[in-house]
Amino acid sequence: MRILFCICLSLVFLACSKNDNIIANLKSQTLIHTQKAKFTYLNTNYIITLSFLSPVLDRYKDDDIFAIFIAPNDFDISNLQVFINSNFVEIQPIEKDDELLKYLIQNEYAKYYKFSAKNNASETITAKICSNIFTCFELSFQRYSKSLYYRSKDENTQYNLQEPF
């Protein structure tokens, strides 16, 4: 009976650890397509982090999907404007149960938002972020071939990540 219990317990741990590994790999891959900028307002330092999620996601083929998070979380988002390749995009908050959160490293002191822009097939994507409390800045992302980021229909399997030698 003890042996059976130990086997069942070890299977539960193995199943959970594999899922944690997959999520960690997704977050690591998102970091490859993440940039940040810093600014100071009223003696408070802020960090804006922008992640280009389309290379990691499989289901959004017509749009370029981005996540932006701002720390600390007291920043007033109404002051923020984002342009992708000179086109204004509307920012929406990411809900706590949103699937996109599993791709992002989470910080309890940050607010998370998402936005999308039509995929125009250009090699470089330029995000211009503006506000009335800091000067505009640009972050550029390189678009890579989708084949470099192949994902199967099973969303929990990534074939584009290789184990280190």
**What are 2-31's pLDDT values in tens digits?**
665 546 555 555 555 445 565 666 676 767
Sign of CA pseudo-dihedral 22, 26, 27, 31: positive
pTM for the model: 0.70
What residues does 88 pair with on adjacent strands? 83
Question: Alpha helices, DSSP H only, in 33-128?
Answer: none
> Each residue of 40-70: pLDDT tens digit?
888 888 888 888 887 777 665 678 888 888 8
Q: Which amino acid is at 4?
A: L
Domains belonging to the chain, first-starting first, are 24-148 (2.60.40)
